């Protein structure tokens, strides 16, 4: 009887880790461009990642020990704990139970990636690659329809649940960084298809008319040049310079037309508010209204991730946030002989660059901002856990 129960448990656990979670991860990566609405996107996350991960952990509780010892995940747990503590002095209208769900969703993402990596290491890489391949026809179709519309001044948004060109650029930029990283780490013969795919995603980025992803892509290229230092690094550097010069020459309006988009004013006002409660911040989900007189409107985000963390959780929260990213980048640099860490590092560096002029809310439900922070961190944590397990087995 016990043998039958153990066999059923093992099969269920293996099915979740080998098939259900990989499917959920693919949907998480491309769902915004493929699914008709965000509510369905959220439901798919709950059904294919959150619930199965909880079931897998219930079936095999010891599997949680491996990922709860990872430095990046420990830093995330510390950050989430401090953010939840800050609820006690926040003026939010949300209940504590509602806000508690947000870090739990992200923790389920970390756990799902770790379970995939521990069960079958290839599944995590295969799922990410499959999502990147599926994103190519979706992007090509969006670009074709955008070009066919020919409306002057229009910016590419895309289809599915995408509804804002800047937010869409995070999705296109994530996969552009992914393909660029592959083109730098694969063999010369294999790198050409990846380079062509990166070019397609780059065209989509330009079509969104957003400048944030241009900065982020530049930083991702800098990471790849340093981490993969070789002849290809020189070519990537030269290509980057040529593309920049071409943009300035042919499409200067992309870089200069909208000026600084009120970012300095947003940052200055946010910092002035932070000065009132610098150490503890204003609390998770606290109210924030930044008035821009020229527009006669207010913004609810500082359009900078670090400033958002500083506003809500203070210097203490920001220190943990920076440590979490620093630990992740250190892991990528330490294991840069493994191309998967180089790819994951490029995704994280891209997200850091995009966060310099975009975002500000912390611990959100699944949306575009996850591609800038939580998904790259989850990938790096999973790869680190798998690497430590492999090293422990060899000993």
393 has a pLDDT exceeding 70: no
> How far lies 355's CA from each of 161, 205, 256, in Å?
21, 16, 20
Structure tokens at 155: 């910016």
136 has a pLDDT exceeding 70: yes
In angstroms, the CA 77 to CA 245 distance is: 44
Q: Where are the beta strands (DSSP E) in 218-370?
A: 290-292, 297-299
Neighbours of 251 (CB within 10 A): 13
> How far lies 202's CA from each of 178, 216, 254, 343, 359, in Å?
11, 12, 14, 17, 21
The per-residue pLDDT for range 261-311, each reduced to its tens digit, is: 678 888 888 898 989 999 999 999 888 888 776 666 777 788 889 999 999
Question: Helix 71-85 and helix 374-394: axis angle, to 10°?
Answer: 140
Q: What is the pLDDT of residue 83?
A: 95
Q: What is the pLDDT of residue 102?
A: 93
Count up the domains in the chain and report the number. 1
For the chain, the average pLDDT equals 88
Q: What percent of the chain has pLDDT over 70?
A: 92
Q: What is the pLDDT of residue 50?
A: 95
Q: What percent of the chain has pLDDT over 90?
A: 54
Q: What is the pLDDT of residue 151?
A: 72
| Residue 230 main-chain phi, psi, to 5 deg | -170, -170
Q: What is the pLDDT of residue 182?
A: 94
In angstroms, the CA 347 to CA 326 distance is: 14
Return the higher-pLDDT residue of 127 and 232. Answer: 127
Q: Which of 292, 291, 298, 288 is nearest to 360 (CA)?
A: 288
Contact status, residue 322 vs residue 129, Cβ threshold 8 Å: no
31 has a pLDDT exceeding 60: yes
Q: What is the pLDDT of residue 282?
A: 92
325 has a pLDDT exceeding 70: yes
66 has a pLDDT exceeding 80: no
77 has a pLDDT exceeding 90: yes
pLDDT category at 379 given cuts 50, 70, 90 is very high
Looking at residues 101-118, what average pLDDT do you find?
Answer: 94
In angstroms, the CA 14 to CA 336 distance is: 30
Q: What is the pLDDT of residue 261?
A: 67
173 has a pLDDT exceeding 90: yes
Q: What is the pLDDT of residue 72?
A: 95
pLDDT category at 244 given cuts 50, 70, 90 is confident
Q: What is the pLDDT of residue 198?
A: 93
Q: What is the pLDDT of residue 103?
A: 94
Q: Is the dihedral of CA 132, 136, 137, 142 positive or negative?
A: positive
Contact status, residue 371 vs residue 170, Cβ threshold 8 Å: yes
Range of the domain at 200: 2-394
Query: Who contacts 392 (Cβ-Cβ below 8 Å, separation ≥6)?
Result: none
Return the higher-pLDDT residue of 377 and 3. Answer: 377
Looking at residues 316-329, what average pLDDT do you find?
Answer: 96
Q: Which of 283, 249, 347, 299 is nearest to 89 (CA)?
A: 283
Looking at residues 157-185, what average pLDDT do you find?
Answer: 91
Query: Who contacts 383 (Cβ-Cβ below 8 Å, separation ≥6)?
Result: 117, 124, 331, 335, 338, 340, 341, 344
């Amino acid at each position: 009887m016990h043998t039958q129960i153990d066999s059923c448990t093992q099969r269920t656990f293996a099915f979740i880790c080998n098939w259900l979670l990989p499917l959920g991860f693919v949907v998480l990566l491309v769902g915004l461009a493929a699914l008709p609405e965000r509510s369905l996107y959220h439901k798919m996350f709950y059904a294919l990642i959150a619930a199965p991960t909880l079931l897998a952990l219930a079936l095999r509780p010891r599997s949680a020990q491996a990922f709860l010892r990872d430095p990046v995940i420990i830093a995330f747990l510390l950050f989430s704990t401090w953010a939840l503590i800050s609820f006690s002095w926040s003026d939010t209208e949300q209940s504590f139970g509602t806000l508690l769900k947000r870090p739990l969703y992200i923790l389920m993402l970390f756990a799902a990636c770790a379970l995939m990596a521990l069960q079958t290491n290839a599944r995590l890489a295969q799922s990410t690659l499959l999502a990147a391949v599926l994103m190519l026809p979706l992007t090509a179709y969006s670009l074709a329809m955008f070009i066919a519309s020919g409306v002057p001044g229009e910016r590419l948004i895309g289809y599915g649940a995408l509804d804002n060109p800047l937010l869409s650029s995070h999705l296109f930029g994530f996969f552009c960084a992914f393909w660029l990283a592959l083109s730098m780490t694969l063999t010369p013969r294999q790198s050409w298809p990846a380079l062509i795919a990166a070019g397609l995603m780059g065209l989509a980025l330009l079509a969104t008319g957003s400048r944030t992803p241009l900065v982020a892509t530049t930083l991702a290229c800098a990471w790849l040049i340093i981490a993969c230092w070789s002849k290809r690094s020189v070519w990537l550097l030269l290509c980057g310079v040529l593309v920049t010069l071409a943009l300035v020459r042919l499409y200067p309006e992309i870089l200069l037309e909208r000026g600084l988009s009120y970012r300095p004013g947003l940052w200055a006002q946010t910092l002035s508010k932070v000065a009132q409660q610098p150490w503890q911040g204003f609390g998770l989900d606290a109210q924030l209204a930044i008035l821009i007189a020229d527009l006669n409107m207010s913004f609810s985000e500082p359009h900078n991730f670090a400033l958002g963390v500083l506003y809500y959780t203070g210097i203490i929260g920001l220190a943990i946030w920076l440590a979490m990213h620093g630990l992740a980048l250190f892991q990528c640099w330490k294991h840069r002989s493994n191309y998967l860490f180089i790819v994951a590092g490029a995704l994280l560096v891209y997200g850091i660059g995009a966060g310099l002029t975009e975002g500000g809310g912390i611990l959100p439900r699944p949306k575009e901002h996850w591609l800038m922070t939580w998904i790259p961190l989850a990938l790096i944590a999973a790869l680190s856990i798998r690497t430590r397990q492999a090293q422990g087995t060899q000993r």
